[in-house]
Structure 1
Amino acid sequence: MANRDRVHWSRREAVRRALPVLGLAAWASTALGGSARAAQQSWSEFLDQIAVEAQRLGISPYVTKSALAGAERLEQVIELDRRQPEGRLTFAEYARRVIDRNRIRRGQELLESRHDLLEAVRFRYGIPNQVITALWGVESSYGRNMGNWSVISTLATLAHDGRRSEFFRGELMAALRILDAGDIVLDGFKGSWAGAMGQCQFMPSTYLRHAVDWDGDGRRDIWTSEADVFASMSNFLATSGWRPGERWGRPVQAPASLETGQRGTVTEFGQAGVRAEDGGPLPNSDIPAVFLRMDGEEGPAFLTYHNFQVFKIWNRSDYFALSVGMISDQLKAS
């Protein structure tokens, strides 16, 4: 157990930790003259510039050359980037797709079958088992849907596009570092259309900061090792400020006069006419809360707490954070 309670410090790990992950932001602000210049470059010129910057950051030229040799500009990725769900779906539509009966049932089965491993990770990081399971389910359908896009091609495409080029150039450099460290081989370096990787769908920079080698095999393997997946997700939430023993929030019934973004304690919201989802009274509590109503005046309402904001550090979408919270509540109740 002692070996599992720490990140494995292999020689590769020591090299990784010595590399300045956050230095990517400084690089991104000057490389290629920013977004405008990136958009004007040809694809081949862009890849040549990436290779130069990667070498400047200490990434193996062989690794970079091999990775970029097969990189393609993927127009479908650009289209997907412009069709985010919060711009085209109501929350109710999104929730029907994500909070489905099969996902809940499978999560309940996995909570039971992975209980010992989840408990060991919870003891180390303090994140409830149902929260980790809910995140796992939403991000990759419990490891069954990790994406089959080339991480290098998707990130290079988005970095070249110009809309968010600086962010994705930094992620591309982080991806090259992961290959350079040997945690994954190029042929298996697959992910979502936006470059999110593995069963927990970490972006490459998130991986470099938070991925954990829980099983002690010398690799931080978020693709095939559930132990590393659970520990990496838990490490992310713990270092992002998760408060053990505090819920993420709750669905509520609320007067139409309340507006999204109003703040107060749970007790104060109760005094303002907010009720629990079943119509009962809210508990007397001085926990700070933020009121959130989705889909207009008649839409579902929520009180959200600190841990809801931690979910949003993971993914800035209210849709995502609410869905994870609601699934975790259903798993806890099972």
Structure 2
Amino acid sequence: MESLFDVQARKLRYTPTKFVRSLMYHIDWNARMIGIRGARGVGKTTLLLQYIKLNFKKNLEKALYVSLDNVWFSNNGLYELADNFVKKGGTHLFVDEVHKYPNWSQEMKNIYDDFPNLKIVFTGSSLLEILNARADLSRRAITYKMQGLSFREYISIETGKVLESYSIEGLIANHQEISPQITAEVKPFQYFDTYLKYGYYPFYREQRDLYFLRLQEIINMTLEIELPQLRKVDVAYIHKLKQLLLIISESVPFTANISKLSNKTGIARATLLSYFHFLEESDLLINLYKQAKGISKLQKPNKTYLNNTNLMYALSPDYINKGNIRETFFVSQMQHYQINYSDKSDFLINNKYTFEIG
């Protein structure tokens, strides 16, 4: 176990805390078990390490960060680690990459039940597997969804300035006062085009020339590994799903003709509709429907967008449609709200506000 503390110490040394994601302040860290799910590359590991670094400066022995893809777990078990950790006075166990560990949800449940004084936070890049495993943990874990960087967060990273977060209600009611306050601090349009291309995933700061390559790896891993393993998607259809993503990326925006797509791809209508649902679960798509309740995976979406604008540039950089990218940006920023398709405008937010994107 000492080797795991050594790994944690090395990681903490290189973990910056100047900028912290907004989600940090919305999580109830007092809960006994917390799950953080989201797409690969959105910053879940960094969030855990930042929390440890900021809250356990004087008692690091109380907290332990482990990644379940560490070779240590090839000969050691998660439950045994928790047992030894608690015996040595540990109080907070942070478990990353849970999808890399067989039967992780069962062991997590046992840890929760057997060590009532231990707080557990787990994350997983494999959003699909976390969703599948929630049946075992539904009565125990509070789960949070982590998105990529908002435009506000991106500007904060680039400028070093902390910009206030506003609710949609506050923006609509007070936009005339809020707008000059923001533009007095920063010039948002100076950063807008770059954000659309590179700013959603925090790893853009590492090697920008390899950014789209990493995005393509995320897409391929989701389509080629996660969907066949976790949603039983036929491997023979994977290349057709890639074609579907390209079509959506280049559309103005995309409104699915399921019968036509079914004939073109050779995928049965019901199966194709379920694939739209799975692609949204994996944070590759956003599907919009007229009604908010009672949506099934066999219901046709009224509109479909890629999850964020960076995916558009990764998939089809030479075919970017201005109208599509503007609408994709809007739905990407609105994911914390209930967003629906509207016959009267482009979007209906919280069943109250209608938006037309120019």
TM-score in terms of structure 2 length: 0.24
- Report the TM-score when normalising by structure 1: 0.26
Higher strand fraction: Structure 1 or Structure 2? 2
